[in-house]
Structure 1
Amino acid sequence: MKIPSLAEIKKELSYLNDQELTNLIIDLSKFSRDNKAYLFFKLFERDNPKIFVEMVQDELEQDFRKSNSSNFHTAKKAAQALRRKLNKHLKLTKDISAQIELIIFFCKNLKAYGYLYHGHPVIQNLYDAQIGKIRTLIGKLHEDLQYDYEEDLAVLG
């Protein structure tokens, strides 16, 4: 089966009425939890733009509390799992400042929960990669916002 291009899908969607579009979106949201989360954030972020960041931070905070960082092996596995969850959430938003805030939150918690104290190279490389992502994303922002996030980055660095 050949998957059609995005332009072809967009063209076909333009032929549907409102009820058919609504049913299609509901069916699509039933396929995966990610689709449902994306739909939720897109519908409700107009009312509260920070809802996405707050919900992801709460979820990550709970996961950091539950994770085991007592030895370097479990700390490495937990840090990698947390990073995968973070990356999954980062795909749901195109807002660069929200992405930066979430990555900074992740890095601060890696430090606060003692993941970096093990001196494990995988954890350190994971942390350094996130710092690199922050630097890249900061470069895409307006100068005034860059200054604010540079201060947060200096605390992590």
Structure 2
Amino acid sequence: MDIPSLAQLKKDLSYLSEKELIDLITDLAKFSRDNKAFLYFKLNERDQPNLFVDAVKEELDEAFQVANTRHYHVAKKAAQGIRRKLNKSLKLSKNKADQAELILYFCEQMKKYDYERHHHPVIDNLFRVQIGKAQKLISSLHEDLQSDFSYRIEELI
């Protein structure tokens, strides 16, 4: 089956009535939790701009609190699992400042919960890669935001 291009889908959507569009969007939201979350954040981001960041931070907090970090192997698996949640959430936002904020928050939580005490190469590399992603995102932001975020990165390093 050949899936049409995004431009073709957009053209086909323009022919639908408002009721048909609403039905189609609700059907899409039923398919996955990610679609539902994306729709929720898009509908509410004008009224509450920090809703997305706060919700993801809360989810990350819960994940870090229940993670077992006693042994390096389990800590590595927990950190990788939490990073996967973070990456899923980052796909929902196109705002680079929000993405940088969440990546830095993830790194701060790794420091807070003392993941680096294990000196495991996978954990250390995961931390460095996330810092690198944050630096890359921050370099494309406004100068004021760059200085705020760079201060946080210096504290992490």
TM-score clears 0.5: yes
Distance 1:70 1:45 in 2: 39
State how 1:17-32 maps to structure 2 within 5 Å. 17-32=17-32
Residue 134 of structure 2 is aligned to residue 116 of structure 1: no
Which residue identity does 1:130 align to in structure 2? Q
Q: Which residue of 1 aligns with 2:140?
A: 140
Distance 2:146 2:114 in 1: 28
TM-score (norm 2): 0.99
Q: Which residue of 2 aligns with 1:95?
A: 95
Tell me, which stretches of 5 or more residues in structure 2 are unaligned? none
Give the deviation of 1:44 after TM superposition. Answer: 0.7
Per-residue displacement from partner, 1:59-113 (whole Å, max 9, x unpaired)?
1101100000001000000000000000000000000110011011100010110
Q: Which residue of 1 aligns with 2:151?
A: 151
Q: Which residue of 1 aligns with 2:5?
A: 5
Give the deviation of 1:144 after TM superposition. Answer: 1.4
Which residue identity does 2:12 align to in structure 1? E
Secondary structure in 1 aligned to 2:37?
A: helix
Distance 2:131 2:105 in 1: 11
Distance 2:135 2:57 in 1: 20
Count of aligned pairs between the two proteins: 157
Q: Which residue of 1 aligns with 2:104?
A: 104
What CA RMSD, in Å, does the superposition of the two structures yield over aligned residues? 0.5
Give the deviation of 1:145 after TM superposition. Answer: 1.1
Per-residue displacement from partner, 1:115-145 (whole Å, max 9, x unpaired)?
1110000000000000000110011101111
Distance 2:37 2:144 in 1: 31
TM-score (norm 1): 0.99
Q: Which residue of 1 aligns with 2:75?
A: 75
Distance 2:58 2:96 in 1: 19
The percentage of counterpart residues that share the same residue type is: 56
Tell me, which stretches of 5 or more residues in structure 1 are unaligned? none
